[in-house]
Chains A and B, each alone.
Chain A
Amino acid sequence: MQPFELLQPRTLEDALDRLADDEEARPLAGGTALVVLMKHALLRPERLVNLKRIPALQGIDWSSETGLRIGALTTIREVEQHQAVRTWFPALAEACHVVANVRIRNLATLGGNLAHADYQSDPPAMLIALGARVRIRSVSGEREEPLETFLVSGYQTTLEPGELVTDILVPPPTAGRRMQYLKFTTRSAEDRPCVGVAVSLGLEGTACRDLRVVVGAVSSTPVRVAEGEELATGKVLTPDLIDEIAGRAASAVDPIGDVRGSPEYKRRLVQVLVRRSLLGSVTEVSA
């Protein structure tokens, strides 16, 4: 690995100052992606700005009014184990729980995961299903954006040079909301997803008030199955309707073929997993 300078700011302001107008500097969060890229000489930054010592980027807050705030430097493991996440967003805890292995989860951060924008990842799809937003800071100010538009393409976000993701914001779930995350791997159990399906279902009695279905890992960004979501609104999710939504999901995706599966197989998996996740969600309703 090329030698580099390590800067260790203690405040967010200091970090933003150091990143502003310095194209040779890169922010370092958990390092699970960045350090690998550096070891393979795919990236050769002259300076790394370590964000791990900045208290403002840490921690998880929950309130029933404003929902969840997750500091960008919170590790995937912390999110997975946090009681409020487990209580109010069990599927987000699950989507974090299935990331890689415990050694990675103890290092990798949620903000780093989103900013890296690797398309083969679990948390983004679930967070989009939950309507998450990201808060972004730079020396010139602060902005917020839905995660759905923040992710532009594989390894591409709307982040401008000098900007940092500071928080991930998840609105509070409506009462009785069902949510699921299903991950399918074709290689080792701790592999990146071949396909990930995130579902968030709001109910009015037994009927669907609103539904979000997001398919991760098959395209350069998570894919929302808008057609299927609309189909469900106002209706009871019968097995037939679920089959139809699953079919729409399969045709809505345009999977990338890779070592984890061919486009054809991934399309099939999307159909099966959307069906299973919706069936799982409504079984709870009828119980």
Chain B
Amino acid sequence: MAAIQLKVNGETYSIEADPQMPLLWALRDLIGLKGTKYGCGIGQCGACTVHLNGQAVRSCSMPVMAMTDMEITTIEGLSKPGQDLHPVQQTWIEEQVPQCGYCQSGQIMSAAALLQNNTAPSDAEIDSAMQGNLCRCGTYPRIKKAIKSVNGTIEKAKG
């Protein structure tokens, strides 16, 4: 066990954890941020996606000891309570993307990271950035549409 400081959504948390504990479980069980999800534990599904210094990473495969001095952002920190939603979250509502919703924290974090670096991604760039996020409900067509409409590159969906 080790004392570890994590900077999550702008707050500093001091936790006692097994240094090898994946960031995912530290976020969920030790800090209580349950918006980041467990889906496979081997970096195959992307449900656990968070931002590490602005980059989308799979928190199930990141040992917590390597996370000190990093800026970690989870779905809870993408937009602060009472403030405007992040444009990706807003578009996810407009396009009615989620079904069961379980994978969507990860989808949104991946999409937000993509759009931060590339404001008008092509189909191939969207595929490549979102390829690591599985959705068993099959919301992919809407995810694609939503990412494109964040920047108004396509006409908004009609009823």
A associates with B: no
